[in-house]
Protein backbone atom coordinates (compact mmCIF):
# COMPACT_ATOMS: atom_id res chain seq x y z
CA UNK A 1 0.00 0.00 0.00
CA UNK A 2 1.37 3.42 -0.93
CA UNK A 3 2.19 6.06 1.64
CA UNK A 4 -0.15 9.02 2.02
CA UNK A 5 0.80 12.68 2.24
CA UNK A 6 -0.40 12.67 5.85
CA UNK A 7 1.84 9.73 6.76
CA UNK A 8 4.81 11.33 5.04
CA UNK A 9 4.26 14.71 6.66
CA UNK A 10 4.95 13.05 10.01
CA UNK A 11 8.38 11.84 8.85
CA UNK A 12 11.53 14.01 8.99
CA UNK A 13 12.64 15.13 5.54
CA UNK A 14 15.47 17.12 3.94
CA UNK A 15 14.93 19.63 1.10
CA UNK A 16 18.10 20.34 -0.87
CA UNK A 17 16.65 21.82 -4.07
CA UNK A 18 13.93 24.37 -3.32
CA UNK A 19 13.92 27.79 -4.99
CA UNK A 20 12.98 30.66 -2.73
CA UNK A 21 11.28 32.46 -5.62
CA UNK A 22 9.43 29.27 -6.54
CA UNK A 23 7.79 28.71 -3.18
CA UNK A 24 5.97 31.92 -2.31
CA UNK A 25 2.50 31.80 -0.83
CA UNK A 26 0.06 33.08 -3.49
CA UNK A 27 -1.28 35.79 -1.18
CA UNK A 28 2.28 37.00 -0.60
CA UNK A 29 2.76 37.31 -4.37
CA UNK A 30 -0.41 39.43 -4.61
CA UNK A 31 0.48 41.65 -1.65
CA UNK A 32 4.05 42.31 -2.72
CA UNK A 33 3.37 42.76 -6.42
CA UNK A 34 0.79 45.42 -5.68
CA UNK A 35 3.22 47.15 -3.29
CA UNK A 36 5.75 47.28 -6.12
CA UNK A 37 3.37 48.47 -8.84
CA UNK A 38 3.44 45.11 -10.63
CA UNK A 39 0.05 43.72 -11.61
CA UNK A 40 -0.15 39.96 -10.94
CA UNK A 41 -2.10 37.73 -13.36
CA UNK A 42 -4.99 37.85 -10.87
CA UNK A 43 -5.48 39.38 -7.43
CA UNK A 44 -7.33 36.32 -6.14
CA UNK A 45 -4.83 34.12 -4.28
CA UNK A 46 -6.57 30.81 -5.05
CA UNK A 47 -6.92 31.65 -8.72
CA UNK A 48 -3.29 32.78 -8.78
CA UNK A 49 -2.16 29.41 -7.40
CA UNK A 50 -4.00 27.76 -10.28
CA UNK A 51 -2.45 30.17 -12.78
CA UNK A 52 1.09 29.35 -11.67
CA UNK A 53 0.52 25.63 -11.94
CA UNK A 54 -1.20 25.79 -15.31
CA UNK A 55 1.42 28.07 -16.88
CA UNK A 56 4.31 26.03 -15.51
CA UNK A 57 2.75 22.80 -16.74
CA UNK A 58 3.86 23.35 -20.33
CA UNK A 59 6.50 20.71 -20.96
CA UNK A 60 9.10 23.42 -21.65
CA UNK A 61 11.73 24.72 -19.23
CA UNK A 62 11.83 28.06 -21.08
CA UNK A 63 8.06 28.55 -20.67
CA UNK A 64 8.23 27.30 -17.09
CA UNK A 65 10.78 29.97 -16.23
CA UNK A 66 8.53 32.83 -17.42
CA UNK A 67 6.30 32.35 -14.36
CA UNK A 68 9.12 33.72 -12.23
CA UNK A 69 8.56 37.20 -13.66
CA UNK A 70 5.81 37.57 -11.06
CA UNK A 71 7.47 35.94 -8.05
CA UNK A 72 10.69 37.89 -8.56
CA UNK A 73 8.62 41.07 -8.85
CA UNK A 74 7.27 40.26 -5.38
CA UNK A 75 10.74 40.11 -3.79
CA UNK A 76 12.29 43.57 -4.21
CA UNK A 77 12.54 45.14 -0.74
CA UNK A 78 14.15 44.08 2.50
CA UNK A 79 10.77 43.61 4.17
CA UNK A 80 9.52 41.49 1.28
CA UNK A 81 12.58 39.23 1.30
CA UNK A 82 12.36 38.80 5.06
CA UNK A 83 8.70 37.76 4.81
CA UNK A 84 9.29 35.37 1.92
CA UNK A 85 12.22 33.71 3.70
CA UNK A 86 10.31 33.46 6.99
CA UNK A 87 7.32 31.88 5.27
CA UNK A 88 9.63 29.52 3.37
CA UNK A 89 10.88 28.12 6.68
CA UNK A 90 7.45 27.90 8.29
CA UNK A 91 5.95 26.12 5.29
CA UNK A 92 8.83 23.63 5.23
CA UNK A 93 8.51 22.99 8.96
CA UNK A 94 4.76 22.41 8.62
CA UNK A 95 5.54 19.70 6.06
CA UNK A 96 7.96 17.87 8.37
CA UNK A 97 11.16 19.19 6.77
CA UNK A 98 14.01 19.34 9.29
CA UNK A 99 16.69 20.78 6.98
CA UNK A 100 16.05 23.10 4.05
CA UNK A 101 18.38 24.90 1.66
CA UNK A 102 16.72 27.85 -0.07
CA UNK A 103 18.33 28.84 -3.38
CA UNK A 104 17.81 32.14 -5.11
CA UNK A 105 19.62 34.72 -7.26
CA UNK A 106 20.40 37.99 -5.41
CA UNK A 107 21.06 39.78 -8.71
CA UNK A 108 17.34 39.56 -9.52
CA UNK A 109 16.21 41.49 -6.45
CA UNK A 110 17.77 44.92 -6.86
CA UNK A 111 14.96 46.82 -8.59
CA UNK A 112 14.09 48.92 -5.55
CA UNK A 113 17.55 49.88 -4.41
CA UNK A 114 18.91 46.90 -2.49
CA UNK A 115 22.48 45.80 -3.00
CA UNK A 116 23.12 42.08 -3.35
CA UNK A 117 24.71 42.01 0.10
CA UNK A 118 21.66 43.71 1.62
CA UNK A 119 19.38 41.21 -0.13
CA UNK A 120 21.38 38.27 1.26
CA UNK A 121 21.20 39.76 4.74
CA UNK A 122 17.43 40.18 4.41
CA UNK A 123 17.01 36.52 3.48
CA UNK A 124 19.34 35.57 6.34
CA UNK A 125 17.17 37.47 8.79
CA UNK A 126 13.95 36.01 7.41
CA UNK A 127 15.31 32.48 7.68
CA UNK A 128 16.34 33.16 11.27
CA UNK A 129 12.87 34.48 12.13
CA UNK A 130 11.29 31.43 10.55
CA UNK A 131 13.54 29.04 12.46
CA UNK A 132 12.71 30.77 15.75
CA UNK A 133 8.97 30.65 15.10
CA UNK A 134 9.11 27.03 13.92
CA UNK A 135 10.98 26.00 17.07
CA UNK A 136 8.39 27.78 19.20
CA UNK A 137 5.70 25.71 17.46
CA UNK A 138 7.56 22.49 18.22
CA UNK A 139 8.67 21.88 14.63
CA UNK A 140 12.35 22.88 14.60
CA UNK A 141 14.08 23.16 11.24
CA UNK A 142 17.54 24.18 10.04
CA UNK A 143 17.47 26.57 7.08
CA UNK A 144 20.30 28.03 5.01
CA UNK A 145 20.54 29.79 1.66
CA UNK A 146 22.31 28.91 -1.57
CA UNK A 147 23.08 32.01 -3.62
CA UNK A 148 22.74 31.63 -7.36
CA UNK A 149 24.10 33.27 -10.50
CA UNK A 150 21.91 33.29 -13.59
CA UNK A 151 23.71 31.28 -16.24
CA UNK A 152 22.52 33.41 -19.17
CA UNK A 153 24.02 36.59 -17.70
CA UNK A 154 27.50 37.97 -18.19
CA UNK A 155 29.85 35.71 -16.18
CA UNK A 156 31.21 37.46 -13.10
CA UNK A 157 32.61 36.53 -9.70
CA UNK A 158 30.22 38.82 -7.83
CA UNK A 159 27.82 36.23 -6.43
CA UNK A 160 30.55 33.64 -5.86
CA UNK A 161 32.46 36.17 -3.79
CA UNK A 162 29.34 36.89 -1.75
CA UNK A 163 28.85 33.16 -1.20
CA UNK A 164 32.30 33.07 0.39
CA UNK A 165 31.82 36.31 2.30
CA UNK A 166 28.59 35.08 3.91
CA UNK A 167 29.35 31.36 4.17
CA UNK A 168 29.40 31.45 7.97
CA UNK A 169 26.37 33.72 8.04
CA UNK A 170 23.52 31.57 6.63
CA UNK A 171 24.93 31.00 3.12
CA UNK A 172 25.87 27.35 2.65
CA UNK A 173 26.67 27.22 -1.07
CA UNK A 174 26.51 28.53 -4.62
CA UNK A 175 24.59 27.51 -7.75
CA UNK A 176 23.89 28.57 -11.32
CA UNK A 177 20.33 28.43 -12.61
CA UNK A 178 18.18 29.49 -15.55
CA UNK A 179 17.88 28.23 -19.10
CA UNK A 180 20.31 25.32 -19.42
CA UNK A 181 20.39 24.78 -23.18
CA UNK A 182 22.83 27.18 -24.83
CA UNK A 183 24.35 28.27 -21.52
CA UNK A 184 26.76 25.50 -20.47
CA UNK A 185 28.26 25.41 -16.97
CA UNK A 186 31.71 26.15 -18.36
CA UNK A 187 30.62 29.76 -19.04
CA UNK A 188 30.92 30.21 -15.28
CA UNK A 189 34.20 28.30 -14.94
CA UNK A 190 35.99 31.28 -13.38
CA UNK A 191 33.43 31.42 -10.56
CA UNK A 192 33.77 27.71 -9.88
CA UNK A 193 37.57 27.91 -9.93
CA UNK A 194 37.37 30.74 -7.39
CA UNK A 195 35.02 28.73 -5.14
CA UNK A 196 37.30 25.69 -5.27
CA UNK A 197 40.27 27.82 -4.24
CA UNK A 198 38.17 29.12 -1.33
CA UNK A 199 37.09 25.60 -0.26
CA UNK A 200 33.46 26.55 -0.86
CA UNK A 201 30.60 24.26 -1.82
CA UNK A 202 28.46 24.44 -4.95
CA UNK A 203 25.78 22.62 -6.85
CA UNK A 204 25.06 23.08 -10.55
CA UNK A 205 21.79 22.77 -12.46
CA UNK A 206 22.64 20.18 -15.10
CA UNK A 207 20.90 17.31 -16.83
CA UNK A 208 17.41 18.83 -16.70
CA UNK A 209 16.77 20.55 -20.03
CA UNK A 210 20.02 19.39 -21.60
CA UNK A 211 21.78 16.07 -21.49
CA UNK A 212 25.14 14.43 -20.94
CA UNK A 213 27.41 17.28 -22.17
CA UNK A 214 25.91 19.58 -19.53
CA UNK A 215 26.40 16.98 -16.79
CA UNK A 216 29.95 16.23 -17.93
CA UNK A 217 30.93 19.91 -17.84
CA UNK A 218 29.30 20.42 -14.44
CA UNK A 219 31.28 17.54 -12.96
CA UNK A 220 34.54 17.33 -14.91
CA UNK A 221 35.13 20.99 -15.88
CA UNK A 222 33.52 22.81 -12.97
CA UNK A 223 33.79 20.24 -10.16
CA UNK A 224 30.17 20.24 -8.92
CA UNK A 225 29.65 18.76 -5.48
CA UNK A 226 25.99 18.04 -6.37
CA UNK A 227 23.88 18.04 -9.52
CA UNK A 228 20.64 20.01 -9.66
CA UNK A 229 18.27 17.45 -11.22
CA UNK A 230 20.91 15.42 -13.09
CA UNK A 231 18.29 12.92 -14.24
CA UNK A 232 19.40 12.89 -17.86
CA UNK A 233 22.35 10.82 -16.70
CA UNK A 234 20.05 7.92 -17.69
CA UNK A 235 21.03 8.73 -21.27
CA UNK A 236 24.35 7.09 -20.36
CA UNK A 237 22.67 3.90 -19.15
CA UNK A 238 21.74 1.15 -21.61
CA UNK A 239 20.37 -2.38 -21.48
CA UNK A 240 22.38 -5.37 -22.68
CA UNK A 241 21.11 -8.46 -24.47
CA UNK A 242 20.31 -10.23 -21.21
CA UNK A 243 18.28 -7.27 -19.94
CA UNK A 244 20.93 -6.02 -17.55
CA UNK A 245 21.73 -2.35 -16.99
CA UNK A 246 25.01 -1.10 -18.44
CA UNK A 247 26.44 2.16 -17.14
CA UNK A 248 28.44 4.32 -19.53
CA UNK A 249 31.63 5.98 -18.30
CA UNK A 250 30.00 9.21 -17.07
CA UNK A 251 27.14 7.44 -15.28
CA UNK A 252 29.62 5.01 -13.75
CA UNK A 253 31.81 7.89 -12.54
CA UNK A 254 28.91 9.78 -10.97
CA UNK A 255 27.66 6.69 -9.18
CA UNK A 256 31.13 5.67 -8.02
CA UNK A 257 31.92 9.16 -6.73
CA UNK A 258 28.53 9.35 -4.95
CA UNK A 259 27.73 12.71 -6.55
CA UNK A 260 24.24 13.56 -5.27
CA UNK A 261 21.38 13.99 -7.72
CA UNK A 262 18.81 16.57 -6.60
CA UNK A 263 15.79 14.96 -8.27
CA UNK A 264 12.51 16.93 -8.44
CA UNK A 265 9.90 14.56 -9.95
CA UNK A 266 6.84 16.80 -10.44
CA UNK A 267 8.90 19.68 -11.77
CA UNK A 268 10.60 17.31 -14.22
CA UNK A 269 7.22 16.35 -15.66
CA UNK A 270 6.43 20.01 -16.23
CA UNK A 271 9.69 20.58 -18.09
CA UNK A 272 9.34 17.50 -20.28
CA UNK A 273 11.68 14.88 -18.80
CA UNK A 274 8.87 12.31 -18.52
CA UNK A 275 5.14 12.10 -19.19
CA UNK A 276 4.22 10.63 -15.80
CA UNK A 277 5.78 9.85 -12.44
CA UNK A 278 5.64 6.15 -13.33
CA UNK A 279 7.87 6.86 -16.35
CA UNK A 280 10.30 9.07 -14.44
CA UNK A 281 13.89 7.73 -14.32
CA UNK A 282 14.17 8.25 -10.56
CA UNK A 283 13.22 4.62 -9.85
CA UNK A 284 15.96 3.31 -12.15
CA UNK A 285 18.51 5.63 -10.55
CA UNK A 286 17.41 4.60 -7.08
CA UNK A 287 17.53 0.89 -7.97
CA UNK A 288 21.05 1.31 -9.32
CA UNK A 289 22.04 2.98 -6.04
CA UNK A 290 22.95 6.41 -7.35
CA UNK A 291 23.04 9.03 -4.58
CA UNK A 292 19.44 10.03 -5.24
CA UNK A 293 17.72 12.74 -3.20
CA UNK A 294 14.17 14.07 -3.61
CA UNK A 295 13.15 17.74 -3.62
CA UNK A 296 10.35 19.99 -4.89
CA UNK A 297 12.23 22.53 -7.03
CA UNK A 298 9.36 25.05 -7.02
CA UNK A 299 6.48 24.30 -4.69
CA UNK A 300 4.28 27.08 -6.09
CA UNK A 301 4.70 26.24 -9.78
CA UNK A 302 4.37 22.50 -9.18
CA UNK A 303 1.63 22.90 -6.55
CA UNK A 304 3.45 20.45 -4.33
CA UNK A 305 5.25 19.73 -1.07
CA UNK A 306 8.06 17.33 -0.28
CA UNK A 307 5.56 14.98 1.37
CA UNK A 308 3.52 15.00 -1.84
CA UNK A 309 6.59 14.24 -3.96
CA UNK A 310 7.32 11.17 -1.86
CA UNK A 311 3.64 10.16 -1.93
CA UNK A 312 3.55 10.33 -5.73
CA UNK A 313 6.66 8.16 -5.97
CA UNK A 314 5.31 5.76 -3.36
CA UNK A 315 2.16 5.33 -5.42
CA UNK A 316 4.07 4.90 -8.69
CA UNK A 317 6.94 2.71 -7.47
CA UNK A 318 5.74 1.19 -4.22
CA UNK A 319 8.23 3.08 -2.09
CA UNK A 320 8.00 2.16 1.58
CA UNK A 321 8.96 4.06 4.72
CA UNK A 322 12.36 2.35 4.50
CA UNK A 323 12.84 3.72 0.97
CA UNK A 324 11.96 7.24 2.10
CA UNK A 325 14.38 6.83 5.01
CA UNK A 326 17.22 5.85 2.64
CA UNK A 327 16.53 8.81 0.37
CA UNK A 328 16.28 11.20 3.32
CA UNK A 329 19.59 10.05 4.76
CA UNK A 330 21.10 10.46 1.28
CA UNK A 331 19.94 14.07 1.35
CA UNK A 332 21.22 14.70 4.87
CA UNK A 333 24.62 13.25 3.96
CA UNK A 334 24.70 15.51 0.90
CA UNK A 335 23.69 18.76 2.61
CA UNK A 336 26.05 21.72 2.62
CA UNK A 337 26.33 21.45 6.38
CA UNK A 338 29.40 20.70 8.54
CA UNK A 339 29.99 16.99 9.05
CA UNK A 340 29.30 16.96 12.78
CA UNK A 341 25.99 18.76 12.25
CA UNK A 342 24.97 16.35 9.49
CA UNK A 343 25.82 13.40 11.71
CA UNK A 344 23.87 14.85 14.62
CA UNK A 345 20.87 15.52 12.40
CA UNK A 346 20.91 11.94 11.09
CA UNK A 347 21.47 10.26 14.46
CA UNK A 348 19.35 12.48 16.69
CA UNK A 349 16.50 13.58 14.40
CA UNK A 350 16.12 11.55 11.22
CA UNK A 351 16.79 8.00 12.44
CA UNK A 352 14.66 8.37 15.60
CA UNK A 353 11.87 9.95 13.53
CA UNK A 354 11.78 7.01 11.15
CA UNK A 355 12.21 4.47 13.95
CA UNK A 356 9.04 5.81 15.50
CA UNK A 357 7.30 5.10 12.17
CA UNK A 358 8.63 1.55 12.07
CA UNK A 359 11.44 1.97 9.54
CA UNK A 360 14.40 -0.36 9.94
Which CATH number does the domain housing residue 217 bear?
Answer: 3.20.20.140
Q: Is the pLDDT at 106 greater than 70, yes or no?
A: yes
- Residue 360 domain flag: no
Expressed as residue numbers, the domain containing 117 is 5-352
Q: Is the pLDDT at 70 greater than 80, yes or no?
A: yes
- What is the C-alpha separation between 215 and 231, in angstroms, rounded? 9
- What is the C-alpha separation between 312 and 309, in angstroms, rounded? 5
Q: Is the pLDDT at 65 greater than 80, yes or no?
A: no
Q: Is the pLDDT at 74 greater than 90, yes or no?
A: yes
Q: What is the pLDDT of residue 259?
A: 98
Q: What is the pLDDT of residue 46?
A: 97
For the chain, the average pLDDT equals 96
Confidence band (pLDDT; 50, 70, 90) for 61? Answer: low
Q: Is the pLDDT at 71 greater than 80, yes or no?
A: yes
Among all residues, which ones are annotated catalytic? 208
- Residue 357 domain flag: no
Q: What is the pLDDT of residue 272?
A: 86
Q: Among residues 53, 13, 1, which one has the least CA distance to residue 326?
A: 13
Q: What is the pLDDT of residue 104?
A: 98
Q: What is the pLDDT of residue 207?
A: 85
- 173 or 209, higher pLDDT: 173
Confidence band (pLDDT; 50, 70, 90) for 66? Answer: confident
Q: Is the pLDDT at 359 greater than 70, yes or no?
A: no
pTM of the prediction?
A: 0.96
Q: Do the beta carbons of residue 179 and residue 64 sit within 8 Å? A: no
Residue 189 CB partners (closer than 8 Å, separation 6+): 221, 222
Confidence band (pLDDT; 50, 70, 90) for 206? Answer: very high
What's the longest Cα–Cα distance across the chain?
A: 62
Calculate mean pLDDT across residues 246-275.
95
Number of domains in the chain: 1
Residue 54: other Cβ atoms inside 10 A: 12
Question: Range with the lowest mean pLDDT among 76-85, 149-158, 251-260?
Answer: 149-158
CA atoms within 13 A on the CB side of 135: 10
Q: Do the beta carbons of residue 310 and residue 265 sit within 8 Å? A: no
Q: Do the beta carbons of residue 162 and residue 116 sit within 8 Å? A: yes
Write out pLDDT tens, residues 151-197: 998 999 999 999 999 999 999 999 999 888 889 999 999 999 999 99
Q: Is the pLDDT at 101 greater than 90, yes or no?
A: yes
Calculate mean pLDDT across residues 10-38.
98
Q: What is the pLDDT of residue 210?
A: 82
State the Rg of the chain over Cα.
Answer: 19
Helical residues (DSSP H) of 198-338, grouped into ranges: 212-216, 249-256, 265-270, 282-287, 306-317, 321-334
- Residue 359 domain flag: no
Question: Range with the lowest mean pLDDT among 49-58, 278-287, 330-339?
Answer: 49-58
Using alpha carbons only, what angle is made at residue 70 by residues 65 and 71, rounded to the nearest 5 degrees?
A: 85
Amino acid sequence: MSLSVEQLRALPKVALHDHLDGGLRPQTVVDHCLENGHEPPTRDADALADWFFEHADSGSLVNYLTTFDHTVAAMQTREQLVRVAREFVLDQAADGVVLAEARWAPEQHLQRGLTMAEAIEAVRDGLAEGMTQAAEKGTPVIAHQIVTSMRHGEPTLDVAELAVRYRNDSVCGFDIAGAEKGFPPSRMAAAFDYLKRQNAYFTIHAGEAFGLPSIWEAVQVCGAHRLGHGVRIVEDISVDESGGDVLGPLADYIRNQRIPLEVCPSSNLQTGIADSIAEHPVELLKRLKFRVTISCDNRLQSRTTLSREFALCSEAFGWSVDDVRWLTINAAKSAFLPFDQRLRLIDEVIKPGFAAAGAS
